[in-house]
Structure 1
């Protein structure tokens, strides 16, 4: 899918490859078409639990956390490190990231990332995220 950011055409496949090459995230699915918008890119991502554990070990004793606390830590850490993707998004773009699931069968946290033009209203971005979350659940 092609999207224009500041008069520059961006191919979703290129962004997918950049994310996988430069971050700890795996792109599970290009959700751009599922957004029913032609001005955004959206991806379903996953990050391995072991990666998150390695990052958390220095600050938290994982054995002391309840499963609910661990779940919350995983979700927030996944969103936090996903912000590093901002370095690779086109100029004039904003991002929204939402982690939504601890997939124990894949041993990973699943997330959705939306990359949109900076003139898209935050309220609209949240509406798009809600729509995409329902598609993956």
Structure 2
């Protein structure tokens, strides 16, 4: 889908490729159309638990955590990785990123990324994130 991005047009497929080639995230679905806006790029993403375990084990022994604590660690680590996406995205972009679900059957954590041109502002980005999270939950 083509997105109005400042004074230029981006293809959400190009952003998808950047994410998949440079990060550990897999794009499950392009949610840009579901944002009901022409200036938002949005994706439903997943990251493998195995990758998160490697990250977490650098500072914590996973075997000592109960399920609730492990869930919290997975969500926090996913969001840390999510905000690192910014370095691969266009310089004039702003993002919001939320991890929302641990999916043991897929062995991954699901998340939503919303990206827009910085001119749009964080408040509008947060509104779009709230709407998209209701679509995926």
In which range does the TM-score fall when normalised by the shorter chain? over 0.9
Match of 1:20 in 2: 20
The 4+ residue runs of structure 1 with deviation greater than 6 A are none
Distance 2:136 2:15 in 1: 20
Please, which runs of 5 or more residues in structure 2 have no aligned partner? none
Corresponding pairs, count? 137
Deviation for aligned residue 1:5: 2.5
Match of 2:81 in 1: 81
CA deviations 1:105-127 (Å, max 9, x no partner) are: 10100000001111223222111
Match of 2:45 in 1: 45
Note if contact 2:45-2:112 (Cα within 8 Å) is conserved in structure 1: yes
Note if contact 1:35-1:42 (Cα within 8 Å) is conserved in structure 2: yes
TM-score (norm 1): 0.95
Match of 1:107 in 2: 107
Is 1:136 the counterpart of 2:122? The answer is no
TM-score (norm 2): 0.95
- Over the aligned positions, Cα root-mean-square deviation in angstroms equals 1.0
CA deviations 1:37-87 (Å, max 9, x no partner) are: 000100000000000001111100101111111101100100101122111
